Amino acid sequence: MHVQEILKVKGQTLVSTTPDAMVSDAVITMAKTDMGSVVVMEGQKMVGMLTFREIMRMLAKLEKEHGKGPTSPMAELRVGDLMITDPMVVTPDMGLNELRQVMIDSHQRYLPVVDGESLLGVISFIDVARAVLDEQGFENQMLKAYIRDWPAEA
């Protein structure tokens, strides 16, 4: 199985924002769409990724430095202040095992899929887990059918 097959099953819906958008707006978008990341775009070009991990790290840092409350500097943060500016990317022809290894090695749960300069979608760790489960289920069904239809010995 390859990344392009996972994208076909998942769909290529992209949730995006811009570097100058408010982090609070990005959080609302992520919550509404049940996504753990957004792609940061300038025009047609991907310039970064924002995930809940960066948001949580910044919240912890700000709380430590400034405490809690309505005057927290978090309200003024822009996506460009937190985004990953050079996210690891994968290609559509990358195999599933290589994809899993990249996710583990890079500690990234969300990987943009690019073909040249074109952003095709984002693969999440959940998408990979679902693909593995589906593939194993299919193989299991095929093996059961093979065993069931095995010719009986005389």
pTM of the model: 0.76
Q: What does the alpha-carbon distance between residue 19 and residue 10 come to, in Å, rounded to a whole number?
A: 26
Query: What value does the CA radius of gyration of the chain take, rounded to a whole number of Å?
Result: 20
Q: What is the pLDDT of residue 134?
A: 73
Handedness of CA 62, 68, 71, 76 (dihedral sign): positive
The C-alpha angle with vertex 112 and arms to 107 and 114, in degrees rounded to 5, equals 135
Q: What is the pLDDT of residue 132?
A: 76
Amino acid at 102: V
Q: What is the pLDDT of residue 133?
A: 77
Check if the beta carbon of residue 49 is closer than 8 Å to that of residue 110: yes
Q: DSSP character for 116?
A: T
Q: Could you give the domains of the chain?
A: 3-148 (3.10.580.10)
Q: What is the pLDDT of residue 69?
A: 58
Q: What is the pLDDT of residue 137?
A: 63
Name, in order, each residue with C-beta under 8 angstroms of 106's C-beta and a sequence gap of 6 or more: 88
Check if the beta carbon of residue 123 is closer than 8 Å to that of residue 35: no
Q: What does the alpha-carbon distance between residue 102 and residue 147 come to, in Å, rounded to a whole number?
A: 36
For the chain, 154 residues long, give each residue's pLDDT as a single digit of tens.
888 888 887 876 788 999 999 998 999 999 999 889 999 999 889 999 999 999 888 888 877 777 665 555 666 789 999 999 989 999 999 998 899 899 999 989 999 999 988 899 999 988 888 887 777 666 666 777 767 777 766 5
